[in-house]
Copies of this chain bind each other. A is one copy, B any other.
Amino acid sequence: MNKIKRAIVSVYNKKNLKKLLICLKKFNIEIISSGGTFREIKKLGFSCIEVSQYTNNFEILEGRVKTLHPKIYAGILNKRNSKKHNKEMKINKYDNIDLVIVNFYPFEEILSNTSDQNKIIENIDVGGPTMVRAAAKNYKDVTVITSDTQYDELIENIKFNKGKTSLEFRKKMSLEAFSETSYYDSLISNYFCDISNEKFPKKKVIGLKRLEKLRYGENPHQKATVYKFLKNFNLEKLGGKDLSYNNYSDIFSALKISRSLPGNIGTVIIKHGNPCGVSIHKEKVKSFKLAFNSDPISAFGGIVSCNFKINEKIAKEINKIFFEVVIGNGFEKKALKILKKKKNLRIIDSSKVQKFNDLKFFSNGEAVLLQTADENKFETQNFKVVSKTKPNSKTLKNLIFAFNVCRFVKSNAIVITQKETTIGIGSGQPSRLDSCELAINKMNKFHKLKNEEILAASDAFFPFVDGIEKLVQAGVTGIIQPYGSIRDKEIIDFANKTKTVLVFSKTRHFNH
């Protein structure tokens, strides 16, 4: 590569320009610019040619057309080692542009600040991405800079190479340039999809921003990184060790359940992606204790999530137990102080988390499966009492609590509850009967059954009577389950025979 002779600078974000300009001046690099960037450069006391003067073409259409000119693009795209190219440059009196410094109209920022379509559309940058793409394509000869965070590295590289840049650096900048243009267009594409209510376009592009590189993935020999969606990431870490891949995964599993519970009274404990204790109780300490006592052995080393503000009293209770992560809908100062005594305990504030993405996806081999999330709150019309024994409103409420927890348990899922607290969870079994047994065993192991009704929920229908039979034999007096088995009638008959409350749900809730 030859010494850089000429740069075009067109930046929306004008931060840190000065140190860059000092460097360009030092190496006698001529600057072309326009509009606000031109004025800024002048204001900072550096010399600069306006694009319109350079191309001998006026900027028109309120800036929509300024840099889109062959003199600019030939300058960028010219292959410096091609005799033919260089000859054509000479004939046309075009000069090389060796450095392109561009950042785009802030489409992402505008998106989060306004819903005015005209304003949003006007902020689709056309000239910027074109210059960047041309320069990134021609990285063998041209350096492309797309963010002010790259200035220091650029300056260092130019200084080290005495007015040039290294091929390695240019290639890296091209990588970042195309990552920038594709991310930028993913925002625009998804914006058009949003306003057209098109969830599943023919070509779907998911743009992600790196949140942090993780030490490793699900296991130490796997590499991993956590990315956030376009919107802001609102979880805040207030203390403790770095979050691991499995922490992140469990935190989100916990939050999904926490958010599905009535506000300010629910506790969820997660282990290996499954809840092992869920409770709602208006006394917050009780809510925590009940959730923990659901399966105190599994809770060991788990994640606890409270959808209420954690106070001193609860913090003391939490500290008695070994948890990896505690999530609170805010923390009282004193509580935070107590929790921070455990240096390793990761403390997560979820109070700023708003809406979750309504589209979830996962990749598996050659394909990616996208689907809308299953997180809507239940309406009573989703359910129908089908047994002769009718539940009172409290029982029905408790049954719906059990069913709601059940849909967050890995399938096949059975959840046994007492007074809006889980007392037995059977998860992840290929046979529904096995899940029933697991839930019953947990209940019998950890709970002395008091004089309170025991209720059970199933995430999908019972294919046979045997599962519901086992539950009733164990003391369950009310069951909630989706309808749909060819043996539904047998199951209703069995419920009637045993005076069990049976409620059918219109919706099934597999979760794998």
Contacts and interface: CB of A to CB of B under 8 A. Distances in A.
Interface of A: 57-58, 60-62, 64-65, 68-70, 72-74, 77-79, 82, 84-85, 88-89, 92, 121, 124, 126, 129-130, 133-134, 137, 171-172, 174-176, 178-183, 185-186, 188-189, 192-193, 196, 198-211, 213, 217-229, 231, 233-235, 245-246, 248-249, 252-253, 255-256, 271-274, 276, 295, 297-298, 302, 353, 356-357, 359-374, 410-412, 427-431, 433-434, 438, 507-512
B210 A203 contact: yes
A4 to B, nearest CB: 20
A507 B219 CA distance: 8
B189 A182 contact: yes
B233 A366 contact: yes
B220 A200 contact: no
A374 B219 CA distance: 8
B204 A208 contact: yes
Residue of A92, A129, A359, A361 with most chain B CB atoms under a 10 A cut-off: A361
Contacts of A211: 367
A369 B65 contact: no
Given A185-B185, A412-B272, A70 B60 contact: yes
A371 B189 CA distance: 26
Nearest to A207: B205
29 contacts: A60-B88, A64-B74, A65-B74, A126-B133, A178-B189, A179-B201, A181-B189, A182-B186, A182-B205, A182-B207, A200-B213, A201-B210, A203-B210, A205-B206, A205-B208, A211-B367, A220-B508, A221-B374, A224-B369, A233-B366, A248-B367, A249-B364, A249-B512, A252-B365, A256-B365, A271-B431, A273-B512, A360-B363, A410-B428
B298 A430 contact: yes
A290 B126 CA distance: 62
A302 B430 contact: yes
Contact of A179 (B181, B189, B298, B434): B189
A226 B137 contact: no
Contacts of A359: 363
A248 B58 CA distance: 56
A213 B200 CA distance: 8
Nearest to A235: B366
Contacts of A353: 365-366
Contacts of A361: 362-363
A88 B70 contact: no
Nearest to A182: B185
A511 B200 contact: no
A73 B68 contact: yes
A292 B171 CA distance: 53
A174 B200 contact: no
A202 B186 CA distance: 15
A121 to B, nearest CB: 6
B255 A371 contact: no
- The 7 closest A-B CB pairs, nearest first, are A428-B428, A217-B371, A182-B185, A298-B430, A362-B362, A252-B364, A271-B430
Residue of A60, A228, A271, A427 with most chain B CB atoms under a 10 A cut-off: A60
A93 B360 CA distance: 51
